[in-house]
A and B are shown apart, each in its own frame.
Chain A
Amino acid sequence: MIVKKSISEHFRNLLIINIFFILSLLQSCATVQVIPDKIFHGISNYHYGDDRTNLTTFSHLVDSLSLNKETKKLAEENILDFLNSNATFASKQFVCRKLRLIGTEKSVPTLSKLLNNRKTTNIARYALENIQGNKVDKALINSLDNPDKKIKIGIINTLAARKTKNSVYALGELLQNADNDIAIAAASALGKIADKKAMAFLEEHFNSANINFRNTLFDSYLLCIDNIAKQDKYEAYIYYTKFYKLDLPTNLKSAALNGIINTAKNKKEEILIRIKNEPTELKSIAISKIRELPESTDITVYAELLKTLPPENQIQLLSVFEDRKDKSVKPNVIQLLNSDIDNVKIAVVKTLANIGDKTDIIKLAKISANNNNELSKHALTSLSLLKGNDIDKTIISLIPKVKDDLKIVLIKAVGARIIKPAFATILKFTNSGSKKLMSETFKSLAEISTEKNLQELLSLFSNLDNIKNKKKLERTISKVLINYPNKQNTALLAKAKDSTNDISTKSSLLRLLGYTNDNNALNLLKKEAANKNLTIREAAVQGLANFTASEPMNDLMEIMISEKNKKIKSIALKGFVHSVNINKTLGACDKVNLYKKALPFAQTSNERNLVLDGIGHSDCFESLEVIKPYINQPDVKGTVDDCINRVSWHLHQKNPERIKDYVNWFLSKIKDEKFQKKNKFLLDVIDKFIKNRDANLR
């Protein structure tokens, strides 16, 4: 809102000033100079590359003058005087850009002169093209006999852009021009104008030997028919059909066929005939048009053609059925599952996602189970997307009845479809003999389980013997805790922890407590982080590190300082860095100070990289200071170099001189080519920024 106000005020003030200015001038002289000479003088010697300040001033003034009819008119007059002066080409070009916006037929005499001059013809057309009125058209047509090719083609193009009907005769004559470029430009222009006269001229040259000219001619002719179609579809249909019978390349045939179908009285029938009778490339145009038929159209007639089509057309037609979601075509679609071509089968399977029902569940499951390729993936995706209220229920009921390979697919579908009621059904398979089945069951449980299932998951957890499965279930439970935060979760975990004497289970539960992000869990973990048992202590610290909020930050810091065990120290360090990173209340420099405190505890290169990366992502000048001692150390070099470049980029507009000093210092110390190249480029950018900033301040 502030912005809106300031801009409108700016223009209002300019306008008021100008109106007073005009009124005072009106009293004093006959020729009203709304654009002061001083401004024109400021731009008359402009050359490319000069300071653009005066151009900008001129431009803003014309914008403000254009708001009022009277001042706009006067501005145009002043600009025309300028165009008749000896000003530089670059300045006249700029002025024509503004004249383009405010010009009227009054500009025609001046612009006509420029139009017929090879040097200025483009800038004249730039201004003329959008000015309405017969005088402009007349001037353009009169200049068409200019012998200069560049001028002539430019004028033809402008007549085309203006769709000047009066120019059709002149353009039609140019179709015979010996210069191919001129003839092509004229043919193209006639297509933009696109009336029947233009059509007649174009038709006269259909037999031309020049391919490029003929293709432009044909395209323009089609545009003329498109134009007829807006008024009379039937007439257009006749033209398209006649045109289509000519000896045309496929691209033009495609466009013509598009037109035929668009204007056909019975679109459905026309499409059918074309699919049956056209060659493969053109069949595809007809097939695509099925998408445009009303939703209520019976499309089974097309489905019946499926088997008779070449594979590429089958794929195209199947994709139409996929889009239209019309179940009536299913029997024909299913038949193509026997195709030899994988891509056809994939298209069938994809279509089934939209037209299939519960009877296709097993079919899709079998395809997914029996293949190990794209087809399998698509079958599973389609199974996941099948629509209907009874799909989920059917999947649940089928799971216990089918063999393991199908069970696996259906359980995958349970996860993908998030069939929560399947929880009890699939829970049983967490202890089945098949590794694959168990693995998929754990994955799907992670998708469908909610906080309501937590108790059952914890019971299962306590009863599992297999360590690998325990880990999988731990991941599943962690997902539930993250997705369904609930105070009860902490209580359930705490209870489970207290009720077991197994250290491994206890440890898992402590780690899981971290995912609750709950204060009670935090207190419990803090307490256990002081436990004398190393395994328990480690798990508790991991729990603190697992928090997805930054509450445990200070506790982790303390552990990092006081803990003697290296492994636990390392977990605390990583957790601390994570906590600082996700902390939304801390500023960049606060974070750098915290990372700085963590640095002495980073013992391994991984740990040092972790902390230095945090520093590199904090946009604070201090980051560049902290990082200094680490330059040229091989194990952290990548991180440090990235930090220097990243922080410098981010801060160079804040204080370019200071960043420049830093970058120069680093460049004097770090000699490798990549670093030098990257940061020398940055120095160039900073210099340019400083230059522009100083120029704008002037």
Chain B
Amino acid sequence: MSHKKTNRREFIKKTTGAIAGLTALPYFVPAKILGRNNNIPPSDKIRIGCIGVGWQGTSNMKTFLNESGAIVVAVCDIDKNHLQDAKNMVDTYYGNNDCKTYHDYNELLERKDIDAVSIGLPDHWHGIVSVAAAKAGKDIYGEKPLSHNLMEGRAICNAVKRYGRIWQTGSWQRSRNNFRYACELVLNGRIGKVHTVEVGLPSGFSDFGGNDKITKPPQELDYETWLGPAPYAPYASARVHKNWRWHLDYGGGQLMDWIGHHGDIAHWGLGKDKDGPIEIFGYGEFPKTGLWNAATKFRIDSKYKDGLKMIVAGGHKDVCNGTTGTKWIGEEGWIWVARGDRLDSSNKSILYDKIKPDEIHLLKSPGHVRNFLDCVRSRKETLAPCETAHRSASIGHLGLISMLIGRKIYFNPETEEIKNDTVASRLLGRPMRSPYHL
């Protein structure tokens, strides 16, 4: 795939050169520069800054590069190698040297010419940077899970709402046809009233290499900032890039990695984007040795106000038949959906059903990033707005709290408080290392 395109400057240079040779002819500005035929003039492009350009951050950045309605103008990372790679990628794509680099996200946020940011950071940094971005008046494409803990999630949602920002979560399954269609089938009653939803997630760890051994941080990485608000811990390569997810100080294991996908889809199909469970019991198996301490096998049984049961599990074959995906079970059958365009039902004919014009239609996404850019322009709610992401993440946060204290907890989704359990309540948030704060 060639990323090389004629950039704006080259274009102007070429066209003015041509004009210079044809002075007798009048110069008409091509319609595409004026925004006709859906070609967006450079001045109308949404200017993007990418904060965190490691693994997922780079992947998101590439998608923004491929969007004609956006232009990536700045990248920020505390790993010099990541930063340089990202800049090279952007500059190569546009054929110029314009992409600015930042070590400190605050400096990027201070730029008035940046409309939106893509945040691809470890979970423990989501809260601080997202709140700062919202306050700086940027629209935000952020990753799932929304937050490292429930209180940080609430803080992000509040900031986004107060400042009137557009937020899209990287719960991109919402932009895939099979997931949308499955949800439409459930919402339109094809399996009757749903009484149970099973959410199957991966178990164990996805090992991305690295070592538990404590060493000096590599020169290219500002490790002190990488740790940020998390409790102090010395550097080990298995703690940082990609693998941070398996340590509870920075991530939440497979549970929190995936709850914003299949848990999110479960909520979407139930119309529970702004709801949460009232009873949660979690059980997890945590490794006793090694650097990583997130649950490798887990199960969360929860109940919603209307009696609906949600079971979230990783490593349990009785949930979703041991597969990863979402399975809604209703009075008249079940529907299961998973990645790889997979969709199944107890009644196969349902799968050929079409959603009629008068039924509930969910937005057919033009692409997850494109949907975000469309909403930046229209100020409409995205497919996966902040509150929605907060609610799907909450299932995981609460399940994890229950796992850690070993008992059932009772939650009020309206006030977001845990009832009659001070120990559990103290786990809703987390004190931050000085000088970090939301």
Contact = CB atoms under 8 A, between A and B. Distances in A.
A384 B407 CA distance: 51
B406 A63 contact: yes
Interface string B114-147: 0000000000000000000001110000000000
A249 B137 contact: yes
Given A122-B231, A254-B137, A151 B290 contact: no
B218 interface: no
Contacts of A485: 349
A185 B163 contact: no
B207 interface: yes
Contacts of A257: 164
Interface residues of B, number: 62
A692 B287 contact: yes
A contacts with B: majority SS: helix
Interface stretch (A311-319, A429-437, A531-539): A311-319
B19 interface: no
Contacts of B378: 315-316, 318-319, 347
A692 B289 contact: yes
Contacts of B406: 7, 10-11, 63-64
A49 interface: yes
Interface in B257-298: 281, 283, 286-291, 293
A499 interface: no
Contacts of A160: 437
A381 B236 CA distance: 53
A66 B164 CA distance: 43
B334 to A, nearest CB: 16
A280 B379 CA distance: 13
Contact of B289 (A48, A52, A130, A386): A52
B426 A101 contact: yes
What are the 3 A-B residue pairs with the smallest beta carbon separation, nearest first? A251-B137, A154-B434, A319-B378
Contact of A653 (B136, B204, B426, B434): B204
B371 to A, nearest CB: 12
B354 interface: yes
Contact of A258 (B162, B233, B354, B404): B162
Interface of A: 3-4, 7-8, 10-11, 48-49, 51-53, 56, 63-64, 66-67, 93, 97, 100-102, 121-123, 125-126, 129-130, 149-151, 153-154, 157-158, 160-161, 181, 185, 188, 212, 215, 219, 222, 226, 249-251, 254-255, 257-259, 284-285, 287-288, 312, 315-316, 318-320, 322-323, 341-343, 347, 373-375, 381, 384-387, 391, 417-418, 447, 482-485, 653, 681, 684-685, 688-689, 692, 695-696
A342 B164 contact: no
Contact of A123 (B213, B231, B293, B426): B231
Contacts of A374: 38
Contact of B37 (A51, A154, A373): A373
Contacts of A53: 288-289
B377 A343 contact: yes
Nearest to A157: B437
Given A11-B406, A48-B214, A254 B164 contact: yes
Contact of B357 (A7, A101, A384, A684): A384
Contact of B431 (A126, A219, A384, A391): A126
B361 interface: yes
B28 interface: no
A255 B163 contact: yes
Nearest to B207: A685
B30 interface: no
- Which of B233, B358, B435 gathers the greatest number of chain A CB atoms within 10 Å? B435
B166 to A, nearest CB: 9
Contacts of B213: 49
Interface in B356-378: 356-358, 361, 364, 377-378
A684 B429 contact: no
B190 to A, nearest CB: 15
Given A4-B283, A101-B423, 12 more contacts: A4-B281, A100-B426, A122-B232, A123-B231, A157-B434, A161-B437, A185-B437, A288-B164, A316-B379, A343-B377, A391-B357, A681-B209
B409 to A, nearest CB: 13
B405 interface: yes
B41 to A, nearest CB: 11
Contact of B427 (A52, A101, A391): A101
Nearest to A686: B207
Contacts of B437: 157, 160-161, 185, 188
B432 interface: yes
A93 B231 contact: yes
B186 to A, nearest CB: 19
B429 A49 contact: no
Nearest to A288: B379
Contact of A385 (B212, B357, B380, B429): B357
Contacts of B212: 49
Contacts of A188: 437
